[in-house]
Amino acid sequence: MARNKYPEVTEERILDVAQRLFLEKGYENTTIQDIVNELGGLTKGAVYHHFKSKEEIMDAVSDRMFFENNPFEAVKDRADLNGLQKLREVVRLNQADTARTNMTAQSIPMNHNPRVLVGMIDANRRILTPYFLELIEEGNRDGSIHTEYAKEIAELLPLLTSLWLLPSVFPATKEEMRRKFSFIGEMMEKMGVPLFDDTIQRLVDEFFEQIPDLK
The pLDDT value given to residue 72: 97
CA 53 and chain centroid, separation: 19
Distances from the Cα of 161 to the Cαs of 15, 31, 40, 204, in angstroms? 25, 28, 38, 11
Distance CA 75, CA 85 (A): 9
Mean pLDDT of 99-116: 69
The pLDDT value given to residue 163: 85
Of residues 97 and 182, more confidently modeled? 182
Distance CA 49, CA 210 (A): 33
Mean pLDDT of 84-106: 85
Radius of gyration of the chain, Cα coordinates, nearest whole angstrom:
19
Q: Of 102, 21, 112, 28, which Cα lies nearest the Cα of 65?
A: 102
User: What would the pLDDT profile of 52-68 be if each residue is shown by its tens digit?
Assistant: 988 889 888 988 988 99
- Sorting pLDDT into bands at 50, 70 and 90, what band is 1? very low
List the domains of the chain with CATH numbers: 7-51 (1.10.10.60), 59-210 (1.10.357)
Amino acid residing at 190:
K
Distance, first Cα to last Cα, the chain = 46
Q: Per residue in 63-89, is it b (16+ CB within 10 Å) or e — as a string?
A: eebbeeebbbeebeeeeebbbbbbbbb
Distance CA 107, CA 162 (A): 11
User: What would the pLDDT profile of 147-204 be if each residue is shown by its tens digit?
Assistant: 999 999 999 999 998 889 888 788 888 889 889 999 999 999 999 999 999 998 888 8
Q: Does the pLDDT of residue 8 top 70, yes or no?
A: yes
Q: Does the pLDDT of residue 113 top 70, yes or no?
A: no
Question: Does residue 31 contact residue 22 with C-beta atoms inside 8 Å?
Answer: no
- Sorting pLDDT into bands at 50, 70 and 90, what band is 213? low
- Sorting pLDDT into bands at 50, 70 and 90, what band is 111? low
CA 157 and chain centroid, separation: 12
Question: Does residue 128 contact residue 66 with C-beta atoms inside 8 Å?
Answer: no
